[in-house]
Amino acid sequence: MDWYEVSNWTRPGHECRHNQLYWSQGEYLALGCAAHGHRAGRRYWNLRTPERFIEAVEAGRSVEAAGERLDDGAWRIEGLQLALRTRDGVPAGALAVDEIDGLVTVTGDRAVLTRRGRLLANEVALRLR
């Protein structure tokens, strides 16, 4: 099995496309109670409980509970945080690699978490720039 994200391993060619969409900040619809969606740079989530969800549907009201739009800086950092968790890593310039010896390897223009780095991914993410 090969690792392709901090908490995911698979046989080659069997990676979860659904999760890869999240990690690449792709777009997806929120379908159903408590579901989350992301469209045109805006995240949103539906009513949590089945009762409230069904009541809204039957009354012809929106099932969306709330949403948010990140500013460009927050969007960029979140994208780096998500990419850091994957086997493709982040652009090497996005990390102060000299401060995190042994936690990332740099190959070409990409910095990828080492095995030890995967255990300390949050610590590495604090150094994203």
Cβ atoms of 79 and 70 closer than 8 Å: no
Please tell me the predicted confidence (pLDDT) of residue 97: 81
Q: Write down the pTM of the prediction.
A: 0.84
Is residue 13 left, alpha or beta, with left meaning phi > 0 and alpha meaning psi from -120 to 50? left
pLDDT digits (tens, 9 = 90+) for 84-119: 999 999 999 999 888 788 999 999 999 999 999 999
Overall average pLDDT of the 74-80 stretch: 95
Please tell me the predicted confidence (pLDDT) of residue 124: 95
Instruction: Provide the pLDDT confidence category of residue 121 given band limits of 50, 70 and 90.
Output: very high
Write out the two tokens for 80: 């780096």
* 44/120 Cα distance (integer angstroms): 29
pLDDT digits (tens, 9 = 90+) for 28-66: 999 999 999 999 889 999 999 999 999 999 999 999 999
* 105/2 Cα distance (integer angstroms): 17
In the block, tokens 């099995």 appear at: 1
Write out the two tokens for 6: 């901090």
